[in-house]
Structure 1
Amino acid sequence: MLSIVQQDHLTVKSELKYLNQVQQWFEDFCLQNLLKLGWSESQLYRLNLALAEGFTNAVRHAHHALPPETKIDIDLCLWADRLEIKIWDHGKPFNPDAIAEPEPGTLQVGGYGWFLLRRLVDRVAYERGTDGRNCLLIVKYGLAE
């Protein structure tokens, strides 16, 4: 059984102005851990983009009717074979699989973020936790490009 190599946690208010802080925290974690393990800049860029998409979705959609003081929790768990990012929100649950994937060459309102997330990483899930929060799980495996 694999064990966690490194982990970190960040809590921020539900405001887009904290996106830079979130991304800087993630970059610091990458510099201290992932680059030393041979992860590429390209992998880290895709993960940072996925994190930014997940965070902004939590602020704009999950928390749109909630006060800005509502907290968003972010967990990073580095395993020997993968990195897991968990973004916890307090919004109403929804089923992202019900979002239609955009057809090439057409325009639609919404759904592009979920489509982008699935293309950037190896696994994405959005589930309701037992504590009433929602968890966006973003997983990227190992060193393969």
Structure 2
Amino acid sequence: MLQQAYLTVKSDLSLLNQVQEWFEQFWEDNLQERVWPENQLYRLQLALAEGFTNAVRHAHHNLSPETPIDLELTLWEDRLEIRIWDRGQPFNPDGLTEPEPGELREGGYGWFLLRRLADRVRYERYPDDRNCLSIVKQLLGVSKS
């Protein structure tokens, strides 16, 4: 592991800007020197925003707005991992059916979007009664130096 950062925020969609600013600062401090495809920052910001808003809207929808959401960024030599910890009831994303192209329905798109934005996505229940959404993106491993 090269770098790690943590942030805890309340279950409040208005804090999404704070979450994104925290991610952008981590990117600037740790990832600017790596060669990434041009759209990679945008893709990772979108994945983080989707994971955070899902935690607020779905996992914590019956919980107090004071319920914390824990965020973790871990930079490894070969990958970046985003972890979003919620305290809601677990769900099984494998039970979701992917919408057909052109199909309109309410909800159910986020999981499939995350899978397209990242190299690996997992959602697991932990013994401390928290759920963890893990979003992993492989790095190219090439430095600009």
Q: TM-score, normalised by structure 2?
A: 0.94
After TM superposition, list the pairs within 5 Å mapping 1:36-75 onto structure 2: 36-75=33-72
Q: Runs of 5+ in structure 1 lacking a partner?
A: none
**2-side partners of 1:41 and 1:93: how far apart?**
35
> What is residue 90 of structure 1 aligned with on the other side?
87
Q: 2:103 aligned to 92, 98, 106, which one?
A: 106
**1-side partners of 2:50 and 2:2: how far apart?**
25
**2-side partners of 1:67 and 1:8: how far apart?**
25
Letter in 1 for 2:136: V
| SS of the residue 1:101 aligns to | coil
- Aligned length, in residue pairs: 141
Instruction: Output one character per residue of 1:86-139: Cα deviation in whole Å (capped at 9) or x when no partner.
Output: 000000000011111010121122111111101101010000012110000000
Q: Quote the sequence identity (%).
A: 69
The reply on whether 1:18 has 2:15 as its aligned counterpart is yes
Question: Which of the two has greater helix per residue?
Answer: 1
> What is residue 24 of structure 2 aligned with on the other side?
27
Letter in 1 for 2:106: V
CA RMSD of aligned residues (A): 1.1
Runs (4+) of structure 1 moved beyond 6 Å? none
> What is residue 75 of structure 2 aligned with on the other side?
78
**1-side partners of 2:103 and 2:73: how far apart?**
35
Q: TM-score, normalised by structure 1?
A: 0.94
Q: Runs of 5+ in structure 2 lacking a partner?
A: none
